[in-house]
Amino acid sequence: MAPTATTTTTAAEQQQHPRKAVGLAAHDASGHLSPIRIPRRSTGDDDVAIKVLYCGICHSDLHTIKNDWRNAIYPVVPGHEIAGVVTEVGKNVAGFAAGDRVGVGCMVNTCRACESCEEGAENYCARVVLTYNSRDRDGAVTRGGYSDLVVADARFVVRFPDALPLDVAAPLLCAGATVYAPMRRHGLGAPGSHVGVIGLGGLGHVAVKFARAFGAAKVTVISTSPGKREEALERLGADAFVLSTDAAEMKAAAGTMHGIVNTASAAASLHPYLALLKPHGKMILLGIPDKPLQVSAFALIGGGKTLAGSCMASISETQEMLDFAAEHGVAADVEVIGAGEVNAAMERLAKGDVRYRFVIDVGNTLKAD
């Protein structure tokens, strides 16, 4: 597809970022994505340059381009499930070489000095620089993987095990890491446990697969979509399916779950879901609806329940997750699309109509003219 637009970058930024790449950008809250030329920095001493082959479409990409969170810095080039091949490394980079199969997830920089950074939990650094729609330490707005080239500090690059094909592995970099890290930390899906997964989308379907791989005794999908029942049980390996709009099904499942991973991209009240937990059960909030969620004290104190949140994953957790996924045959169910189909894919994602992650075939379909 032929790029037809250019960025409104400053001369200074173009000097600092002399490389030209092609991307897909949203220019306003319509969220419509169109081709754009973007500057990329030269490969610095600590950097890895990556030819992007695939990039997953996370619901956060959709929230951002639609300005749901009121923080969009247009033009937004989304994408933080980036899989590709190294083309060049800086002189200080020891761990990667040209030709390596690598990825970049949700973040590309942190302060490297705070307590979170020191303890390897850099996803909780207050100065974390996200892969797109964020300000990097040089002041430039970050642009993500809906683009043919990315240049990233090697500290934020992970390696794909050979067993993982890149198209089905790309979504692991956000969806996979985001569910794996808190499930491990909080013991959700531990052997013998009953885990619930709210929302059978990109994050949710991978959470089901990880729970199975961890050895959970029972995995229950809690969904608003009756059409996902059969797939959840037969294709994804869930043991049970609860339609959240069916009061009788919700009542029958009340008080049965040790833990719940909540990946819903929208919702009003947590109460019906919290009722599914056993006493001392935990709900991990991962979804980021644009409106505040309701929770009454009674829904938590009765039963001594825990409501926790989790954001992305550290780089070491992300690499551990990829290695675990390769060992246990966990990968995303994907619909691979061309760059020209991205707006239609976003419309379908908004309706929950994807099985279960769109992945853009960047390598074959997003090219400069």
Ligand X SMILES: NC(=O)C1=CN([C@@H]2O[C@H](COP(=O)(O)OP(=O)(O)OC[C@H]3O[C@@H](n4cnc5c(N)ncnc54)[C@H](OP(=O)(O)O)[C@@H]3O)[C@@H](O)[C@H]2O)C=CC1
CA distance 38 to 88: 19
Alpha-carbon distance of 143 to 168, in angstroms, equals 22
263 binds, among Zn ion, ligand L3LJF4O6, ligand X, none (CB under 5 to 8 A by kind): ligand X
Among 60, 67, 142, 244, binds ligand L3LJF4O6 (CB under 6 A): 60
By C-beta, is 77 or 264 nearer to ligand X? 264
**Least distance between ligand X and beta carbon 127 (Å):** 17
- List C-alpha distances in Å: 56 to 6, 75, 115, 222, 339: 24, 19, 31, 24, 12
Least Cβ distance, residue 186 to ligand L3LJF4O6 (angstroms): 19
Rounded to 5°, angle at Cα 124 from 95 and 270:
130
The least CB distance from residue 115 to Zn ion, in Å, is: 8
In angstroms, the CA 265 to CA 337 distance is: 22
Nearer to ligand L3LJF4O6, 60 or 110 (CB): 60
> Whole-angstrom Cα distance, residue 48 to residue 143?
15
The binder of 225, among Zn ion, ligand X, ligand L3LJF4O6, none, by C-beta within 5 to 8 A per type, is ligand X
Residue pair 182/310 in contact by the 8 Å Cβ criterion: yes
Q: Which does 203 bind (CB under 5 to 8 A by kind): Zn ion, ligand X, ligand L3LJF4O6, none?
A: ligand X
Selection from 133, 134, 128 nearest residue 312 by Cα? 128
Query: With respect to ligand L3LJF4O6, which residue has the nearer C-beta, 211 or 312?
Result: 312
Q: Long-range contacts of range 320-324, CB-CB < 8 Å, 24 or more positions apart?
A: 320/180, 321/172, 321/176, 321/177, 321/180, 321/181, 322/103, 322/158, 322/159, 322/160, 322/161, 322/164, 322/169, 322/172, 322/176, 323/161, 324/180, 324/213
**Among the listed residues 166, 312, 315, 360, the single contact to ligand L3LJF4O6 using CB under 6 A:** 312
Q: What residues make contact with Zn ion under the rule CB under 5 A? A: 58, 60, 110-111, 114, 117, 125, 174
Give CA–CA dist 301/295, Å, rounded.
Answer: 11
Residue 280 DSSP label = E
Phi, psi of 213 (to 5 degrees): -70, -30
Q: Closest approach of Cβ 236 to ligand X, in Å?
A: 11
Report the residue closest to ligand X, judged by CB.
201
76: left (phi over 0), alpha (psi -120 to 50) or beta: beta
The answer to whether residue 345 forms part of the interface with ligand L3LJF4O6 (CB under 6 A) is: no
Q: Which does 315 bind (CB under 5 to 8 A by kind): Zn ion, ligand X, ligand L3LJF4O6, none?
A: none
221 near ligand L3LJF4O6, judged by CB under 6 A: no
Alpha-carbon distance of 361 to 54, in angstroms, equals: 5
Binding interface with ligand X (CB under 6 A): 58-60, 63, 174-175, 178, 199-204, 223-225, 228, 263-267, 286-288, 310-312, 349, 352
Rounded to whole angstroms, the Cα distance separating 229 from 240 reads 9
Pick the closer one to ligand L3LJF4O6 by CB: 68 or 153.
68
| Interface with ligand L3LJF4O6, residue 311, by CB under 6 A | yes
Give the x/- contact pattern for ligand L3LJF4O6 in 247-286, rule: CB under 6 A: ----------------------------------------
Tell me if 158 sits within 8 A of 81, measured CB to CB: no
Which lies closer to Zn ion via its Cβ, residue 80 or residue 186? Answer: 80
For ligand L3LJF4O6, the closer of residues 29 and 247 by Cβ is 29
Around Cβ 82, how many Cβ atoms within 10 Å? 31
| Interface with ligand L3LJF4O6 (CB under 6 A) | 58, 60, 106, 130, 174, 288, 311-312
